[in-house]
Every structure is written in C-alpha cells, then in structure tokens.
C-alpha cells in the first residue's frame, strides 16, 4: 500500500525519529538490576540469563523497563528532570507524552492512507487513531494488537511507544480473553486503575512473548472477536 505523505504523515515521521533517539537514551540509562527484574516479570530470565526468541523481544523488554520502573521516580521522570531540553521542544513534549503513556489492547477497525490505523482501545473502551506505517499498511480489520500508546503532541493521533506485539495465534487470543475477563468490572465501568493496567500489561506481555515458542496456528480475524465475548 502506498503511503499518502501529507502534513500529518510528515509530522508523524519527525516525531517518530525523536522518539527513537529518546528511547535509545532511556535504554542506556537503565540499570542492569532493573533490566533483570523486568526480564523476570516477562518470563525472559532463565537461570540468571536473559533468553530471547527474537530481536523484537529485546525491544519489548526495553519498552517494559522504561515504563515500569521500581524506584520512587520513573526512568522517564528522572530524564525529564536532568535534561536540558526546552519546554516547547519536540524532545520535551515527547518525553511528557511518554510519561503519560498507557498499555492497551487494540482491535483494528480499518486503515487509511497507508499510515493510519483506526482501532478500539478495549481496556478503556474508546476509539483511537494510530499513526503507524506498519499497522496502517498491513493491519487486518478485527485483529488484536498489544501496545503502549502515547498521544502525539498537538494532535488527535496516538503513537506506539515503539514495541507493539501482534496477537496472532489462536491459543494466545483465547488466553488474552481469559485474562481480560478477570478485569471485566473495572474495564466496563471505566475505572481501570494504573495498578490494574500495569498488572494486566505484565500478564499479557509475558503471555504473548511465548507465541513464537508454541506449536500452534495463526488465528482468523473472526476468532479475535469471539475470544472477547
């Protein structure tokens, strides 16, 4: 699919480049003990060694580490305090957006222009428009995506924080539905707390990282819908 390179697309590309550099710096600031703690959370730590199935798993772990600090101040918050970025700079606006980011399970409705993906945030029961070339050009209506989302500054669009995980396999979709049903009341009432959302993210990411290690089949889009009923 060809990408329609309009003003929104150009702004997205600009902010994605800023986000990538910020993530690289935040990753460098992570302490080894934090990485291993988060690796244990996600089931990647085995006999004191981090074991990855693919390079994508590394990105998922780093994204989790950056957004799930165990200290009094988050890795992002400390970087904001210590940085010399101007308040109105893209870097500072993106850091603030990252600090306010949230974990979500999105169900794709439609794509547009080769870089926009319209979806339903199942955890917050709201529609979101994602600026993402990967999803905007290839996402199939009905499928589920686990991702941490942040609002693009001065925009109605959201972006992923850099490590989305597609929910591809039948057993994983069924398991996601089972986990979500444990949180039915806070989700349906709109009262899902940050603590509950963080608990969900740990359970779901840990589960989804096993997809490449299971002898299973890919699910049809209709099965995504059935699992959520």
Q: Is residue 206 part of a domain?
A: yes
Structurally, how many domains does the chain consist of? Answer: 1
Q: Is residue 213 part of a domain?
A: yes
For residue range 190-217, list pLDDT tens digits in order.
888 888 888 899 999 999 988 765 444 4
Q: Is residue 119 part of a domain?
A: yes
DSSP 67-127: H---SSS-HHHHHHHH----TTSHHHHHHHHHHT-EEEEEEEEEEETTTEEEEEETTTTEE
Q: Is residue 2 part of a domain?
A: no
- Whether 50 shows a pLDDT value over 70: the answer reads yes
For residue range 114-157, list pLDDT tens digits in order.
999 999 999 988 999 999 998 888 888 998 999 999 999 999 99
User: Residues for the chain: how many in total?
Assistant: 229
Which residues are within 8 A (CB) of 31 and not within 5 positions of it... i.e. 6 or more apart? Answer: none
Q: Is residue 1 part of a domain?
A: no
Q: Worst-scoring range by mean pLDDT, 29-33, 70-74, 114-118, 197-201?
A: 70-74
Report the alpha-carbon distance of residue 229 to residue 219 in Å, rounded.
Answer: 16
Q: Is residue 50 part of a domain?
A: yes
Output the pTM of the full model: 0.87
Q: Is residue 127 part of a domain?
A: yes
Q: Is residue 194 part of a domain?
A: yes
For 133, the domain range is 7-227
């Amino acid at each position: 699919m060809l990408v329609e390179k309009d003003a929104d697309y150009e702004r997205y590309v600009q902010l994605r480049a800023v986000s990538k550099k910020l993530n690289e710096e935040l990753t460098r600031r992570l302490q080894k003990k934090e990485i291993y703690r988060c690796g244990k959370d996600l089931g990647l730590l085995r006999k004191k060694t981090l074991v990855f199935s693919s390079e994508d798993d590394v990105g998922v772990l780093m994204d989790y580490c950056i957004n799930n600090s165990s200290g009094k101040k988050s890795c992002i918050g400390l970087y904001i305090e210590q940085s010399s970025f101007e308040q109105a700079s893209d870097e500072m606006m993106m850091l603030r957006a990252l600090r306010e980011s949230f974990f979500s399970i999105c169900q794709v409705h439609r794509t547009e222009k080769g870089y926009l993906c319209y979806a339903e945030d199942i955890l917050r029961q709201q529609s979101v428009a994602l600026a993402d070339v990967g999803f905007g050009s290839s996402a199939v209506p009905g499928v589920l995506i686990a991702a941490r989302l942040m609002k693009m500054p001065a925009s109605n669009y959201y972006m992923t924080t850099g490590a989305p995980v597609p929910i591809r396999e039948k057993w994983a979709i069924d398991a996601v539905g089972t986990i979500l049903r444990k949180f039915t009341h806070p989700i349906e009432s709109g009262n899902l707390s940050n603590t509950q959302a963080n608990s969900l993210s740990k359970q779901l990411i840990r589960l989804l990282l096993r997809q490449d290690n299971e002898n299973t089949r890919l699910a049809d889009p209709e099965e995504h819908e059935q699992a959520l009923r």
